[in-house]
Amino acid sequence: MIKVNKENMEYQEGMTVEDVLQKKKYTFRMITVIVNGRVVPKDQYATYMLKDGDNVDVVHIMSGG
């Protein structure tokens, strides 16, 4: 199990940040991904492997429509 924006998500072996974004339908471009308190660069989303128990924050920046 991992936490994504404070909610539980089933962990799967080999899961990347990009997989999480797809699963959550997080399609907005202005996001910052933080895993266990450390920012993951955008160009590593497809390769950054998550571990069971990781805490993932996907911070959507836009605060105005």
Sites of contact with other proteins (CB under 8 A): 5-7, 25-32, 39, 57-65
Computed from CA positions of residues 29, 18, 44, 63, in that sequence, does the dihedral angle turn out positive or negative? positive
Distances (CA, A) of 32 to 6, 12, 21, 59: 15, 22, 11, 5
The least CB distance from residue 55 to other proteins, in Å, is 12
Q: Retrieve residue 15's tokens.
A: 């899961």
The least CB distance from residue 6 to other proteins, in Å, is 5
Q: Which is nearer to other proteins, 33 or 50 (CB)?
A: 33
The least CB distance from residue 48 to other proteins, in Å, is 15
